[in-house]
Amino acid sequence: MTARTANGHRPLPLSQRSNQQPSDLHDSEYFRDIADTLPVVLALANADLSQFLFVNRAYEEVWGQTVESLYANSLSFVDAVHPEDQPALRKAIGGLIQGTPIDGIECRLVQPDGSTRWVLCRGCPVRNAAGEIVRLVGTAQDITERKRVENSLRESEDRYRDLVEHSSDLLCTHDLQGNILSVNKAPLKILGYSREELLGKPLREFVTEEAKPLCDLYLMQIQKTGFARGLLPVVTKKGEVRLWEYNNSLRQDGVSPIVRGLAHDVTEQKRMEAALRKSEEKFSKAFHASPVEMFITSLDTGCILDVNESFENSTGLTRDRLIGRSTVELGMWIDPADRTPIIDEILQKGRITKREKAFRLPSGETVFRLFSAEPILLNDVRCVLIVSEDITERKKAEQDVRQLSSRLLRLHDEERRNIARDLHDSTGQDLVALSALLVQLQDEVPPTHRKAHKTVSQALAVAERCIREVRTLSYVLHPPMLEETGLKDAIAHYIKAYSRRTCIEVQLEISPRFGRLNRDVELVLFRVMQESLTNVQRHSGSYAANVRLKRRPTMVSLEVSDRGRGIPGFEQKSPEPHLLGCGVGLCSMAERLKQVGGKFEIESRSSGTTIRGVIPIHEKTDGNDSHTSGR
């Protein structure tokens, strides 16, 4: 095993140390100790670089390789250099062996962990008195951090250069006399000048005649305060006047004072502002002259900011009593909590259109309004513009019509009940009696009178068929089971008979423990189911249908769907059948549901139609069953 010196390096071979004196050896060891403290790689090799005579410890830190590996293979340090940088380094080393110093060559080192370092390599030959090369000395300095800073600086400069060159703003410098020293490229397209046409020229030459004194004042201000901002009308090469807003500052950190200027073309902005002012004037005139009620409130507080004359007339209050007070404070909301969901909807959807709502006038009278609301921005304040129309009379008329319609429907149901009772109690009983007489007559006809016997048999069959049809008709007109056992049993019984008569398979789904409902609600749901299945038979062409009757604590729903051809020309979802040109049956269903506070909906496609009715209920517990209030 080879002995090592105190500093851990392999000593020079004896053949190389034979000419050294004791004092030289002491100086050599002292040199090594100093060299090992340096952060720069320091190496000494023989003249042909076939062997390294000394390498300090910095080599292991920078190259990531042991000193022994370099002593064993003098060119192993080149193998650690990035392949792209090796050719240049090998060429420089070849020149060094021939006597050409390496003034400085940068290359990348690939560390054992795959990371990369940058080093700056230098080298020079050592000659004897005869001028012969006897040694080679080399250094390598880790410049990784410097390269990182240079790259960051370069990227920053590139970004700044791109920002300046591609900015639509005017970035320039000029001296204290206003002579332009530099200007970026992008705004030149707006002005129509080349860079050469601007450089060295005074600012005054590019502003309107009226603005030249302003330009002189600007130069005086920038010299006095070191800062200036304002507007200048600039004349383009084609003679167009454009308005530029500038923000300039004086810099005196260089050889001579220089003004850095930043200007932005605000011509279009000013035009838009002027147009906006005109638009606001037109809006104000239209707002106050409109025959429709209009008012503006703060979105956040609900305070009224402006009203038109029509709104004053409708409320009976002057604008002095309205402006500055909130709609809640004025008592306009019947329930103040109603405002919050409306504001939320405006914020979510952007507007509300044609919404009906009841409001209270200062006199205490309740009125109905058809209103639309849209958010607007006035003087940076979020506001709501409300346009409303008094529909109180129309709502009263609709209520009168609805009451009349409800009365007609009740009379209609009562008439059907009376007819059903008459059919069952009178006509049905007469047919039963007729059937009994025919049976008696059949027994009295001798068997030998075959023709008479056949005629009586046929008459008996007709009588029995009439009895069945009268019973069916009586049940369809008014099922007694609806009053006796409730909606659930009445629907189940009806569907069973319906499927038998029409050969249409109906799947029935009913919530468990459905219980009883208010008599009017049960009748409405039964009639909607009945009419829906009638439409399935007459119009859909479907051989199957589904009836779903669901009950929840706050609502009951009925859904009847088929797999037929759908309503012709109807490819949407709608709660208003009368707007679709539908028949009387659908309108009757919708009206029945309205009478008990319910909602009606049709959904029809080419794959089938769904009729849906939803009625709100308010339950109370009575024993083990649930009933609607008012039962």
Residue 152 has pLDDT above 60, yes or no: yes
> Of 3.30.565.10, 1.10.3720.10, 3.30.450.20, 1.10.10.10, which CATH number belongs to 272-390?
3.30.450.20
Tokens 């759908």 — which residue? Answer: 566
Integer Cα distance of 503 and 598 in angstroms? 31
Name the residue with higher pLDDT: 408 or 210.
210
Residue 208 has what pLDDT?
93
Helices (H) and strands (E) in the chain, counts: 21, 23
| pTM metric for this prediction | 0.39
Residue 515 has pLDDT above 50, yes or no: yes
Tell me the angle at which helices 584-595 and 392-422 cross, rounded to the nearest 10 degrees. Answer: 110
Residue 448 has what pLDDT?
79
Residue 476 has what pLDDT?
66
Print the SS3 string covering 51-74.
CEEEECCHHHHHHCCCHHHHHHCC
Instruction: Convert the pLDDT of each residue in 267-326 to its tens digit.
Output: 888 888 787 778 778 888 888 888 889 999 998 888 999 999 988 888 888 888 888 888
Residue 626 has what pLDDT?
41
The angle at the Cα of 86, spanning 85 to 91, to the nearest 5 degrees, equals: 110
Strands 170-174 and 133-142: unpaired
H or E element that contains 137? strand 133-142
H or E element that contains 620? strand 619-622
Q: pLDDT grade, residue 503 (50/70/90)?
A: very high
- Which residues touch 554 (CB under 8 Å, ≥6 apart)? 616, 617, 618, 619
Residue 12 has what pLDDT?
47
Residue 28 has what pLDDT?
64
Instruction: Convert the pLDDT of each residue in 168-192 to its tens digit.
Output: 678 888 999 999 998 888 778 888 9
CB 164 within 8 A of CB 182: no
**Burial code of 561-573, b = ≥16 C-beta within 10 A, e = fewer?**
bbbbbbbeebeee
- Which residues touch 28 (CB under 8 Å, ≥6 apart)? 20
Shared fold status for 14-149 and 272-390: yes
Residue 165 has what pLDDT?
60
User: What's phi and psi for 448, nearest 5 deg?
Assistant: -75, -20
Lowest mean pLDDT among 98-102, 117-121, 197-201, 577-581: 577-581
**Burial code of 270-300, b = ≥16 C-beta within 10 A, e = fewer?**
eeeeeeeeeeeeeeeeebeeeeebbbbbebe
Residue 74 has what pLDDT?
92
Strands in 293-298's sheet, in edge-to-edge order, are 304-307, 293-298, 381-390, 366-378, 352-360
Residue 631 has what pLDDT?
33
How high is the mean pLDDT of the chain?
Answer: 82
User: What's phi and psi for 179, nearest 5 deg?
Assistant: -75, 130
Residue 625 has what pLDDT?
42
Residue 616 has what pLDDT?
93
Class of domain 481-628: alpha beta
Residue 313 backbone class (left: φ over 0; alpha: ψ -120 to 50; beta: rest) = alpha
Name the residue with higher pLDDT: 411 or 388.
388
Residue 42 has pLDDT above 90, yes or no: yes
Integer Cα distance of 133 and 100 in angstroms? 11
Residue 575 has pLDDT above 70, yes or no: no
Domain spans, the chain: 14-149, 167-265, 272-390, 481-628
CB 608 within 8 A of CB 564: yes
Strands in 116-127's sheet, in edge-to-edge order, are 52-55, 41-46, 133-142, 116-127, 102-110
Q: pLDDT grade, residue 128 (50/70/90)?
A: very high
Residue 44 has pLDDT above 90, yes or no: yes
Tokens 């849209």 — which residue? Answer: 374
The one-letter code for the residue type at 537 is Q
Residue 629 has what pLDDT?
38
How many CB atoms are closer than 10 A to CB 616? Answer: 14
- Which residues touch 375 (CB under 8 Å, ≥6 apart)? 299, 346, 347, 350, 351, 382, 383, 384, 385
User: What's phi and psi for 176, nearest 5 deg?
Assistant: -70, -15
What kind of architecture, by CATH, is found in domain 14-149?
Answer: 2-Layer Sandwich (3.30)
Integer Cα distance of 601 and 317 in angstroms? 41
Integer Cα distance of 205 and 261 in angstroms? 17
User: Coil, strand, or helix at residue 333?
Assistant: strand
Q: pLDDT grade, residue 583 (50/70/90)?
A: low
Integer Cα distance of 351 and 356 in angstroms? 14
Residue 188 backbone class (left: φ over 0; alpha: ψ -120 to 50; beta: rest) = alpha
Instruction: Convert the pLDDT of each residue in 322-367 to its tens digit.
Output: 888 888 888 888 888 888 898 899 889 889 988 888 888 878 888 8
Stretch 373-395: mean pLDDT = 87
Lowest mean pLDDT among 140-149, 217-226, 424-433: 424-433
Q: pLDDT grade, residue 413 (50/70/90)?
A: low
- Protein fold of 167-265: Beta-Lactamase (3.30.450)
Residue 424 has what pLDDT?
59
